[in-house]
Amino acid sequence: MNRDEIQGKAERAKGYVKDKAGEILNDPDLEAEGEVERGKGALREGFGKAKETVTDAARSVKNKVNDAVDDLTDDDDDDERVA
């Protein structure tokens, strides 16, 4: 979990509290503010998850490339030992 996901969750929770407080206090402005904040939080959390997915994919590609290079390098070492 990265910073964007955590901040998004916090923003969603804060928006939920404002939304419910607006309902209880019969304050449509506070309720609307809470709904907007919940939406912004969900968006930020989604961005954080997407960023995490891209980072994981990039790491995976990097590891596969490094493994392939290592395999090629190991094969070259074997050839030198035989000769």
Give the pLDDT score at 80.
58
- To which residue do tokens 């939406």 refer? 39
Give the pLDDT score at 15.
98
Q: Is residue 31 within 8 Å of 23, Cβ to Cβ?
A: yes
Give the pLDDT score at 74.
83
Q: What is the pLDDT along the chain (83 residues), one digit of tens a residue?
A: 899 999 999 999 999 999 999 999 999 999 999 999 999 999 999 999 999 999 999 999 999 999 999 988 886 555 555 55
Tokens of 25: 């206090």
Give the pLDDT score at 58.
96
Give the pLDDT score at 75.
66
For the chain, what are the domain ranges? 3-82
